[in-house]
Structure 1
Amino acid sequence: MLQNVIDLRDRPDRWRKVRAVLAPAVDHAISDVPAYAVACDTQALPETRDAVSVAEAFRWAGGQVWPVDLYLYDEDGAPAI
């Protein structure tokens, strides 16, 4: 379940190949605790996919069972997690 999209690309007009990072969603109202951690003890590390389109990144994030934040970077932008 996609909760937030954080677009950190320097070149937002490039959409065919980006680096997408999924991280557990953060509920800012509850002191930066991941939203799913409030409901259960299961936690996950951030996941990265390289060279995916923006549409593929949204589909990937939308298919998750827990709330996630999707971070978009330029293909060569952020270091891999």
Structure 2
Amino acid sequence: MNAPVSIVAPLDPATLALVQEIAQARGISGEVFAADAIREAAEREVEWRAFVQEGIDSADRGELISQEDMEAWFEERVAARRGA
């Protein structure tokens, strides 16, 4: 099993107070909250990069949508929301 490592990050007092407040409300330490937040941010970044790469791959295959088609699609959704 890999041993955990520590990261030191400077926080302004207001941010540290928020971290401590949220951690206390969750019944965890500030360190656990910070570790969870870093993990979640890293996972979101990985998902975002995969999403962007999927779009790049699609474009490379020539699977593109014209500006006119995109605008029409968008306007249909706006009209549907207004009618809802």
- If each structure's strand is expressed as a fraction of its own residues, which one has the higher value? 1
Name the TM-score, length of structure 2 as normaliser.
0.25
- If each structure's helix is expressed as a fraction of its own residues, which one has the higher value? 2
Mark the structure with the bigger radius of gyration: 2
- Higher relative contact order by CA 8 Å / sep ≥ 6: 1 or 2? 1
